[in-house]
Amino acid sequence: MLEIRIHGRGGQGNVVASYLLAQAAFEAGWYSQAFPSFGAERRGAPVTAFVRLSKAPFRRRCQVRTPDFLIVQDQALLSVPGVLAGLDPQGAVLVNAKADSQALRAQLGCEVVALAATELAQEVLHKPLPNTALIAAFFALTELVPLAALRAVLPRRFGGEVLARNLALVDKAAASVPAGLWRSKVDAASA
């Protein structure tokens, strides 16, 4: 089973990101589960979402405490206690940041890839919503599922021009990270 925890802030599309990730994985033949956890429902408040993926049925329903991967939609959340808690020693973090991946790796002491997802989204969507870019980058890094699966589920959430822009963002974000960099982590975690 692969467990993924997504940290973000209200208004960044954190919950949508978890659903897109789970739905795309389901399209590609995985059993999947996604659900959020948040306190006060207000823009900017911390939001956590959880995703589980497995090739076999599962019954686990608790929050993800020991994730294989973290997706962090706001670099400032890296300084919040508990964000990195429980990360598998062989795990990895994808963070929405302009910072250099090597610098973040040295600072956090774990495998990190930084992607300026907000800037990509602003450029393509004309809105600062990093969720689609981060999910596309995650799929490119892990090769967990083909990007075609993500493209197949986007029309369930978006339509018209917004859909067209999100599809363009998928390609741009996926091309911005090293394809397959984390494939061995997926294989080890799901073995």
Q: Tell me which residue of 67, 14, 86 sits closest to 45, measured CA to CA.
A: 14
Q: Which domain holds residue 133?
A: 2-190
Give the model's pLDDT for residue 122. 97
In contact, 56 and 157? CB cutoff 8 Å: no
On the 0-12 / 13-18 / 19+ scale of CB atoms within 10 A, 82 is exposed
Residue with token string 């960044």: 12
What is the chain's length? 191
CATH number of the domain encompassing residue 93: 3.40.920.10
Per-residue confidence (pLDDT) for residue 39, from 0 to 100: 65
- The single-letter code of the amino acid at 148 is A
Number of domains in the chain: 1
Rounded CA gap, 97 and 99, in Å?
Answer: 5
- pLDDT of the chain, 191 residues: tens digit per residue: 999 999 999 888 899 999 999 999 999 999 999 999 876 667 778 889 999 999 999 988 888 999 999 999 999 999 999 999 999 999 999 999 999 999 999 999 999 999 999 999 999 999 999 999 999 999 999 999 999 999 999 999 999 999 999 999 999 999 999 999 999 999 888 77
